[in-house]
Amino acid sequence: MRILLKIVIDCDADAAWRAVHSPRAVAELYGPLMDLAPVVPSGLPTAWEPGGDVPVQLSLGGVLPLGRQLIQVSDRFVDDANGAVRIFRDSGIPLTGPLASLDVWDHQMAIAPAPGDPAKTLWRERLVIGGPTALALWPVLWATWQWRAARIRAIAPTWAHDPEP
């Protein structure tokens, strides 16, 4: 089963690319509804690195545990009809909690300059899930991804690396 997003956000593609690699930006994206915390004593890395396996604990409002997730990152670079596209992929898997009943978790975010406006970003996202509970979990994840899209739109302008003159 798939969940797709396609939105244009108000930051350049370089800023969006840095944000998808930032555990802090990801935590801000889910807050205050969900909290993302490190499982290991060394804490979260400064950036998600390709080849890295990072276990995290998710909780509702920092209080109700939702389960642990392994974040496993890879990056890919392709060209499409509009130019260069950078793809961030989390092919980790839910380890505990309700989502652990899924045996497929493939989350990809494609980042490219927005056609006609390189100061903005075309953000495309695809989540593929599978397993015995995928059909039951799909509506909850779909609603979460709609909320996530609204948060991305709201937070993206803060991702700019350099302040406006």
Q: CA 80, CA 85: separation in Å to the nearest integer? A: 7
Return the pLDDT at 96.
Answer: 96
Q: Report the predicted TM-score, pTM, of the whole model to 2 decimal places.
A: 0.91
Check which CATH number belongs to the domain holding 9 and give it. Answer: 3.30.530.20
- Residue written as token pair 């969006």: 16
- Quick: pLDDT tens for 92-114: 999 999 999 999 999 999 999 99
Total domain count for the chain?
1
Where is pLDDT greater, at 139 or 36? 139
Return the pLDDT at 152.
Answer: 97
HSE, CB side, 13 Å, CA atoms: give it for residue 84.
Answer: 7
| Closest by CA position to 110, among listed 20, 10, 12 | 20
pLDDT band at 81 (very low <50, low <70, confident <90, very high): confident
Q: Rounded to 5 degrees, what are φ and ψ at 54?
A: -125, 115
Q: Is 33 within a domain?
A: yes
Q: Is 165 within a domain?
A: no
Q: Which residues form the domain of 44? A: 2-159
Q: Is 164 within a domain?
A: no
Return the pLDDT at 34.
Answer: 86
Q: CA 21, CA 75: separation in Å to the nearest integer? A: 10
- Quick: pLDDT tens for 11-65: 999 999 999 999 999 888 888 888 989 999 989 999 999 998 999 999 988 889 9
